[in-house]
Amino acid sequence: MNILTVLDGLILRKVEPNDASTLFSILDENREHFMQWLPFVALLMDVSEMQDYVDSVASPTESADMIYVIIYKKELVGLVGLKDCDFFNNRAELGYWLSPLYEGLGIMKRSVDCLIDYAFNDLDMHRIELFCAEGNKKSERVAIRSGFLFEGIVHDGELMADGSYSNLKQYYLLNSKH
């Protein structure tokens, strides 16, 4: 589905090629904020690199990812998606980020809940996983408030921008219909 209505004034829309410059601008203008938890931001130095990513995930034939932009009051404010969708085993990994200007408004939790509902009820997914770096309390709160359960620690699971490794907290959510 191309558009998922979260609530009045908040929608998720499948990422489109013309979203790349806005997505890059949000990340670039808040680079220090995002690099703490999203190591790819340090490598993303030009809008053309964002364009390459958006083009790859916007093409249904080239990607196992279902990536949506978050539109709040007609403004693109973040990204939420299902990565590495495995339709044989009915599982995917959830990922997200939000412009710091819109944190604290419940946008991400509502967006995550909407995408989970879509994944379970329309895509018939059985398991959704979520990983967040230890210490990323905001991401962890979204996971817990959306019903995810703590599964364990993936030690040194992510290479950070500064060359160190971060432990990842792994969460999961199962479709109760299965």
- pLDDT, tens digit, 9 for 90 and up, residues 26-69: 999 999 999 999 999 998 999 999 999 999 888 766 567 999 99
Those residues whose C-beta lies under 8 Å from the C-beta of residue 75, and which sit 6 or more positions away, are none
Residue 177: pLDDT above 90? Answer: no
Residue 84: pLDDT above 70? Answer: yes
Residues 76, 19: contact at Cβ < 8 Å?
Answer: yes
Residue 101 DSSP label: G
Residues 103, 136: contact at Cβ < 8 Å?
Answer: no
Which two tokens mark 152?
Answer: 């364990």
Residues 160, 141: contact at Cβ < 8 Å?
Answer: no
Cα distance between residue 125 and residue 118, in whole Å:
9
User: C-alpha dihedral over 136, 137, 140, 141, to 10 degrees?
Assistant: -150
Q: Which of 56-60, 111-115, 137-141, 162-166 has the lowest mean pLDDT?
A: 56-60
- What average pLDDT does the chain have? 94
Residue 12: pLDDT above 80? Answer: yes
**Per-residue pLDDT tens digits for 117-148:** 999 999 999 999 999 999 999 999 999 999 99
Token pair 């004034």 in the structure block, residue? 9
> What are the φ/ψ torsions at residue 137 (nearest 5 degrees)?
-65, -35
Confidence of residue 172 (pLDDT cuts 50, 70, 90): very high
Residue 163 DSSP label: S
The reported pLDDT for the residue numbered 50 is: 95
